[in-house]
């Protein structure tokens, strides 16, 4: 009888204990956890259930539908890209494009469209949210409403100043977007349409956004020596990087709104090294309680650098080409032909253009940092600098620039930034990493390589920053900027957007010659509790959600 009792007790204890052990959807065992705080890694198990992190700790008795052995691998929150144009993929019909596999292979689990609305001016933010929710997207996404879109919808003259009734209608549309889940207003002040937006307009719209607890995000009015649209002969005041930073700080104070600077950089030879002065302005403001943050990408060549236009039609002809224009190449040729014809008729104008071209060469990093990237008529020039081509032709830099770009259609890639500035911006604890990338290939390697590039080049090889510092910059910092208290950390009850990567093999592969090569080393990517990258391969899942901003409680 005693033996029977002992056996009963044994089986009850054994099976009761097993029944009490939880079973999870995914169990990550023995990984080196970087929780997003900036602290060093620690070894823990991470359990995922119903799209959330269910437990972090020593989970020896636990089981799961999928167990991942992460011994020797690193576990972190998913990266939050604070400056994305991934909607180019989301709006595509092909499943891998919707998934933006180029982002997933970098470890990006959430993208923020922080330079304005990612849709046409006749669509509401609710429309886009519904479309993406219905068709499926790979990563999570958050949206801002673009000021330029609002202006085009309301104003008769988008290059003018809004009337009082127009301003009121713009405020109404911004309120409507905030009610629909937008996180704030955004614009590109450095481009031709955006530079007509006044500081006071932004402040007035910013006050509306502030009442919802929103943000103002911008590609600033200048990122170096001058604004993109400005030419040396332009009589209007030159706006520099430092002027632009001061404007952002002023907007924050006047509107009572946090401001976020997109892809902060210091372009042009005279402004190399100005990262310190720009950051000193931001840090002084932050010390005074002004909420200013920024993001950056880790390349010394920008998007506009990819097809440097030394002959600018906007200030000469007062015309611009809409983004996404189908006949863009034909329109560019027409505008160049008109500039050339005017130069032939007007010697004073021709002299003005020559002066402006030399200024633009300096602002783009100098003739020895400008490379011919495409030129069908003379392939021997491809890969050579503007200075080298000028020497081969026995011409001035201006004459060579005219031959390449005004008379023909050569593409020139410039390297307008310095590594010194990239290093300095990376060390700032209020600047996140971001791609400014697209969901489709062919524009810039940052779309495919940004986050692994920082890890390989600036964390491991050059040791500019530490790995825990980088993880914080890419996870909990952007989550805090966006006001998210349920993602960006490896914590119980947080959203299960989780990465497992191999630090030995992590690297970017995309280059300026081959821009669409996937990064390596991201072994597993979990979004909303679903594996989207499994052993380095896309699984076909589209688990992303549109994150709408919650309305403040009254």
The domain spanning residue 213 has which CATH number? 3.20.20.140
Backbone phi, psi, residue 199, to 5°: -60, -40
**Residue 234 binned pLDDT confidence (cut-offs 50, 70, 90):** confident
Q: Which of 471, 489, 507 is the last residue of a domain?
A: 489
pLDDT of residue 326: 67
User: Token pair 């997109």 is at which residue?
Assistant: 262
Q: Is 26 within the bounds of a domain? A: no
Q: Is 9 within the bounds of a domain? A: no
Domain that holds residue 281: 78-300+417-489
Q: How crowded is residue 280: how many other Cβ atoms within 10 Å of its Cβ?
A: 12
Q: Is 42 within the bounds of a domain? A: no
My answer on whether 425 and 409 are in the same domain is no
Q: Which of 377, 393, 414 is the last residue of a domain?
A: 414
The number of domains in the chain is 2
Task: Reply yes or no on whether the pLDDT at 14 is more than 50.
Answer: no
Q: Is 536 within the bounds of a domain? A: no
**Residue 514 binned pLDDT confidence (cut-offs 50, 70, 90):** very high
My answer on whether 263 and 276 are in the same domain is yes
My answer on whether 337 and 458 are in the same domain is no
My answer on whether 447 and 325 are in the same domain is no
Give me the percent of the chain exceeding a pLDDT of 90. Answer: 79
Task: Reply yes or no on whether the pLDDT at 67 is more than 90.
Answer: yes
My answer on whether 459 and 342 are in the same domain is no
CA angle 440, 441, 442 (to 5 degrees): 135
- CA–CA gap between residue 442 and residue 452 (Å, rounded): 19
Q: Which one has a higher pLDDT value, 155 or 328? A: 155
**Residue 5 binned pLDDT confidence (cut-offs 50, 70, 90):** low
Task: Reply yes or no on whether the pLDDT at 4 is more than 70.
Answer: no
Q: Of the given ranges (168-172, 181-185, 226-230, 443-447), which has the lowest mean pLDDT? A: 226-230
Helix (DSSP H) and strand (DSSP E) numbers for the chain: 19, 22
My answer on whether 475 and 439 are in the same domain is yes
Q: Are strands 292-296 and 431-433 parallel, antiparallel or unpaired?
A: parallel
My answer on whether 169 and 206 are in the same domain is yes
**Residue 11 binned pLDDT confidence (cut-offs 50, 70, 90):** very low
My answer on whether 287 and 431 are in the same domain is yes
Give which of 34, 73, 109, 39 is closest to 435, Cα–Cα: 109
Q: Is 521 within the bounds of a domain? A: no
Backbone phi, psi, residue 45, to 5°: -95, 150
Q: Could you report how far apart the first and last alpha carbons of the chain are, in Å?
A: 69
Q: What is the mean pLDDT of residues 136-154?
A: 93
Q: Is 500 within the bounds of a domain? A: no
My answer on whether 158 and 112 are in the same domain is yes
């Amino acid at each position: 009888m005693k033996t029977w009792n002992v056996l009963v007790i044994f089986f009850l204890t054994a099976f009761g204990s097993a029944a009490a052990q939880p079973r999870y959807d995914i169990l990550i065992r023995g990984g080196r956890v970087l929780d997003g705080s900036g602290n060093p890694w620690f070894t823990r198990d991470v359990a995922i259930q119903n799209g959330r992190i269910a437990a972090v700790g020593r989970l020896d008795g636990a089981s799961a539908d999928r167990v991942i052995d992460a011994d020797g691998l690193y576990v972190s929150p998913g990266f939050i890209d604070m400056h994305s144009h991934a909607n180019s993929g989301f709006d595509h019909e092909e499943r891998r494009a919707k998934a933006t596999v180029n982002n997933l292979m970098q470890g990006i689990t959430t993208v923020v469209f922080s330079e304005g609305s990612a849709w046409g001016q006749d669509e509401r933010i609710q429309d886009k949210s519904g479309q993406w929710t219905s068709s499926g997207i790979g990563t999570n996404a958050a949206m801002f409403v673009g000021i330029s879109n609002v202006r085009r919808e309301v104003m008769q003259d988008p290059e003018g100043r809004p009337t009082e009734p127009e301003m009121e209608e713009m405020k109404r549309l911004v309120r409507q977007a905030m009610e629909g889940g937008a996180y704030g207003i955004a614009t590109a002040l450095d481009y031709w349409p955006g530079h007509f937006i006044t500081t006071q307009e932004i402040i007035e719209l910013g006050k509306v956004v502030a009442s919802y607890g929103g943000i103002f995000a911008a590609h600033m009015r200048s990122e170096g020596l001058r604004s993109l649209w400005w030419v040396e002969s332009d009589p209007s005041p030159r706006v520099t990087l430092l002027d632009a930073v001061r404007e952002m700080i002023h907007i924050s104070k006047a509107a009572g709104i946090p401001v976020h600077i997109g892809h902060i950089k210091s372009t042009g030879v005279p402004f190399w090294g100005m990262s310190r002065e720009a950051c000193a302005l931001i840090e002084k403001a932050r010390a005074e309680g002004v909420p200013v943050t920024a993001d950056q990408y880790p390349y010394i060549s920008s998007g506009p650098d990819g097809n440097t236009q030394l002959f600018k039609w906007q200030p000469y002809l007062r015309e611009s080409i809409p983004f996404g224009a189908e006949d863009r190449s034909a329109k560019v040729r027409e505008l160049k032909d008109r500039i050339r014809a005017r130069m032939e008729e007007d010697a004073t104008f021709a002299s003005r253009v020559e002066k402006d071209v030399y200024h633009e060469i300096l602002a783009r990093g100098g003739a020895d940092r400008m490379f011919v990237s495409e030129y069908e008529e003379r392939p021997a020039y491809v890969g050579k600098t503007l200075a080298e081509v000028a020497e081969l032709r026995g011409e001035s830099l201006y004459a060579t620039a005219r031959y390449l770009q005004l008379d023909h259609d050569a593409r020139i890639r410039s390297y307008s930034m310095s590594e010194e500035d990239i290093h300095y911006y990376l060390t700032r604890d209020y600047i996140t990493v971001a791609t400014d990338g697209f969901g489709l290939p062919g524009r810039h390697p940052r779309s495919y390589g940004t986050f692994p590039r920082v890890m390989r080049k600036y964390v491991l090889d050059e040791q500019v920053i530490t790995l825990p510092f980088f993880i914080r910059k890419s996870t909990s910092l952007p989550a805090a900027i966006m006001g998210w208290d349920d993602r960006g950390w490896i914590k119980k009850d947080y959203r299960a957007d989780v990465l497992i990567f191999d630090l030995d093999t992590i690297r970017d592969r995309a280059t300026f010659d081959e821009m669409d090569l996937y990064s390596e080393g991201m072994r597993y990517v979990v979004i909303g509790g679903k594996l989207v990258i499994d052993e380095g391969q896309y699984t076909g899942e589209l688990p992303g959600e549109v994150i709408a901003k919650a309305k403040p409680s009254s």
